[in-house]
Structure 1
Amino acid sequence: MNGILSILPKDIEEKIIAITNGNIKDIEEIRIRVNRPVELLTGTKTVFLPYFVDMSEAEKLISKLGKHSFYTLEEELKRGFITIEGGHRIGLGGKVILENGKVKGIRHVSSFNIRIAKEKIGIGEKWIPFLYDSNWKHTMIIGPPQTGKTTLLRDFARIMSTGSKRWNIPAQKVGIVDERSEIAGCFQGVPQMTFGHRLDVLDACPKAEGMMMMIRSMSPDILVVDEIGRKEDTEAILEAVNAGVRLMMTTHGESFEDIQHRPTLKPILEQKIFQRYFELKRIQGPGKVVSLKDENGREIYGKTGGYK
């Protein structure tokens, strides 16, 4: 978190420390918008700082992120976000530049969404008995934005690539296709998050293409992917299953019933490929599992907190 503060204009850094009384660990997002107050988001509330950023400060910030070289940001600007050391991701808004109908980059950046990368090591441990039975079960984590899907997925990847002495589970080869640099939080291709020794990452790679690349080149036992939902994702998932690879993935949605209405996921659901479905909600902060279901949609763990 201190690394994040160091890239901000000094006035913003001082005001954040002052308004939080130095207790900055609960901050999840810092949103900076030109001619608007700086916004802080924690797990339970939103706070606006009495400070307005002008365009010159925004330009200084983007220059600092690119280490004073706009060329170094070229690929990141095409994607609309920058990943910095520590795995923190900074989303950008501004004037989009097109070339042949495709996004070439962003200029006149006027909005910054600094998402603080946080690990919650151990949050996946309690679910191991439901996910492993001589092999890992194909698992999908469902939830709206900011419900902790990626945080839970990341810890599962850590456990699978480390193994578990408690449950007598060996470490397995895990391949992460990290299209938005959120799962592993890579900086210059190196994961910044905690994983085991048996893990490989394709950073900033489109999911569908990356899954096939990973299978062909790295022979993973398990594929970990965030936010599936496009038709090409589904096709790649079917290919991965046919290749004998286990799957651990997330998707946007309110519930198991909700994603059944998505045409792109229909082939997966009809074939009952995924054997476990987690449903997450944002209740007093992200990461609350409200239900765990099997491939038929039957509840294994319910809202009452009991096992079935």
Structure 2
Amino acid sequence: MLPTASQNRMEMVIREQILPVLAPVIRHLISRSPRPLQLALEEIRIRQGKPLQVYTHQGDYYLDPEGQPIRLDHKAYRVTQEEVSQTIQLLTRSSLYALEEELRRGYLTIAGGHRVGLAGRTVLSSEGFVQTMKDITHLNIRIAREVPGVADSIKQHLINPAGYKLYNALIISPPQCGKTTLLRDIARQVSDGLLHPNLPGQKVGIVDERSELAGCVNGIPQHAVGSRTDVLDACPKAEGMLMMIRSMSPQLLITDEIGREADRDAILEAVHAGVAVIASAHGHNMAEVKKRPAIRSLIEEQVFSRYLVLSRRLGPVTLEAVYDKHGQCLHRREGRAEWSS
């Protein structure tokens, strides 16, 4: 069970940030759902004409007309077109088409740093690029969680004891294993000088292409990312890293989900400039990320001194293995246990 402080914080998030942006009927169903489910919410899936669905760390459920979680979709409450429209109006404060850039990216970030994925019919420019989105019929509200201290269990793997300097590190993780939450807490602890007694607070630069790490709204971070942290929001990773190096003189750069050649080049530029880099990449293990040419190149050049592999076997941010720059395994979790609430 979550500690009381975490429970109270999550209750506040649901009550003040999530329920107000839902159509009245959907709001009623979520508010009537069992308290343990509300505390564990990770996603709310709203699809026109489809069952109302929620995701938690224990799996996905449909909600019935009384707000109770069930596994059978034919007994679930089905979302209407009006409820999708009402939710969009509440999310956007009735100014959807003023949010052209957000529609082009396919998601919105709302107060609290929660991200809302959008799907529907896209409108293409004459060059074939997505220009905007209309007839939105699918919404995915991803509930952002701050977990102060989540980096405590891994921070010994981020510091070189010879001189107490930060390692360049790559966090490898499948989706929904907590890598963004972990990066956020690493930023906070490094920025505020909490990572190690012999490592004073550092200037941290976050390049937040998807507005998930800092959860900025109007440029203001909604999450605690540290007092010495600067954020480039909604900026492509490669370009943002170079901008940070030129303009903000960070000691640590943090970014999420690298994988393109441009990302590799920017990371090399940062490391050669003496800036530490902690990033993440999608993958279940080292072998998987090595299949991506840009990451394989970084591995072969031994840019990263530590590789941390995450899963959610024991819940989000389960550290499965740690490797050094030579590919030598320094830590491996043994056994298997299921998540329990």
Same fold (TM over 0.5): yes
Q: Distance in 1 between matches of 2:36 and 2:281?
A: 35
Q: Distance in 1 between matches of 2:314 and 2:58?
A: 6
1:21, distance to aligned residue in structure 2 (A) = 4.0
2, 7, 11: which one aligns with 2:25 = 11
Aligned to 1:183, what secondary structure does the other structure show? Answer: coil
Aligned to 1:283, what secondary structure does the other structure show? Answer: coil
Asked if the contact 2:191/2:201 (under 8 Å) is kept, the reply is yes
Aligned to 1:37, what secondary structure does the other structure show? Answer: coil
Asked if the contact 1:43/1:284 (under 8 Å) is kept, the reply is no
Aligned to 1:214, what secondary structure does the other structure show? Answer: helix
1:89, distance to aligned residue in structure 2 (A) = 0.2
Alpha carbons of structure 1 residues 22 and 296: separation in structure 2 relative to 1, 3 Å: closer
Asked if the contact 2:53/2:60 (under 8 Å) is kept, the reply is yes
Confirm whether residue 32 of structure 1 aligns to residue 46 of structure 2: yes
Aligned to 2:120, what secondary structure does the other structure show? Answer: strand
129, 141, 144: which one aligns with 1:117 = 144
91, 97, 107: which one aligns with 1:71 = 97
Residue 315 (structure 2) aligns with: 285
After TM superposition, the runs of 4+ consecutive aligned structure 1 residues lying more than 3 A away are: none
Aligned to 1:11, what secondary structure does the other structure show? Answer: helix
Residue 213 (structure 1) aligns with: 243
Residue 62 (structure 1) aligns with: 88
Confirm whether residue 297 of structure 1 aligns to residue 323 of structure 2: no
1:16, distance to aligned residue in structure 2 (A) = 1.6
Encode CA deviations 1:39-90: one digit per residue, 9 max, x unaligned: 1000012111232122222122212222111233211101000000000000
Q: Distance in 2 between matches of 1:271 and 1:4?
A: 45
TM-score for both structures, normalised by structure 1 = 0.95
Q: Distance in 2 between matches of 1:34 and 1:165?
A: 46
1:127, distance to aligned residue in structure 2 (A) = 2.4
Q: Distance in 2 between matches of 1:224 and 1:147?
A: 18
Aligned to 1:110, what secondary structure does the other structure show? Answer: strand
Q: Distance in 2 between matches of 1:263 and 1:141?
A: 17
Encode CA deviations 1:186-233: one digit per residue, 9 max, x unaligned: 111111111221000000001011111111111111100000001111
Letter paired with 1:145: P
Asked if the contact 2:106/2:118 (under 8 Å) is kept, the reply is yes
Q: Distance in 2 between matches of 1:19 and 1:144?
A: 29
Asked if the contact 1:17/1:23 (under 8 Å) is kept, the reply is no
Confirm whether residue 89 of structure 1 aligns to residue 112 of structure 2: no
Q: Distance in 2 between matches of 1:216 and 1:166?
A: 28
1:167, distance to aligned residue in structure 2 (A) = 2.3
Encode CA deviations 1:172-195: one digit per residue, 9 max, x unaligned: 000000000010111111111112
1:284, distance to aligned residue in structure 2 (A) = 4.3
Aligned to 1:52, what secondary structure does the other structure show? Answer: coil
Q: How many residues align?
A: 305
1:14, distance to aligned residue in structure 2 (A) = 1.6
Instruction: Name structure 1 gaps, 5 residues minimum.
Output: none
Q: Distance in 1 between matches of 2:232 and 2:196?
A: 30
1:128, distance to aligned residue in structure 2 (A) = 2.4
Confirm whether residue 264 of structure 1 aligns to residue 294 of structure 2: yes
Alpha carbons of structure 1 residues 191 and 144: separation in structure 2 relative to 1, 3 Å: same
1:165, distance to aligned residue in structure 2 (A) = 7.8
Residue 242 (structure 1) aligns with: 272
Residue 48 (structure 1) aligns with: 62
1:163, distance to aligned residue in structure 2 (A) = 0.5
Letter paired with 2:237: K
1:17, distance to aligned residue in structure 2 (A) = 2.4
Q: Which moved more, 1:126-135 or 1:44-53?
A: 126-135
> Over aligned residue pairs, what C-alpha RMSD do you find?
1.5
TM-score for both structures, normalised by structure 2 = 0.86
Encode CA deviations 1:105-148: one digit per residue, 9 max, x unaligned: 11010100100000111011232222112210001000111111
Asked if the contact 1:174/1:200 (under 8 Å) is kept, the reply is yes
Confirm whether residue 102 of structure 1 aligns to residue 116 of structure 2: no
Q: Distance in 2 between matches of 1:116 and 1:229?
A: 25
Q: Distance in 1 between matches of 2:22 and 2:231?
A: 29
Asked if the contact 2:22/2:86 (under 8 Å) is kept, the reply is no
Q: Distance in 2 between matches of 1:166 and 1:219?
A: 22
Aligned to 1:140, what secondary structure does the other structure show? Answer: strand
Letter paired with 2:140: N
Confirm whether residue 144 of structure 1 aligns to residue 158 of structure 2: no
Letter paired with 1:266: R
Aligned to 2:100, what secondary structure does the other structure show? Answer: helix
Asked if the contact 1:77/1:106 (under 8 Å) is kept, the reply is yes
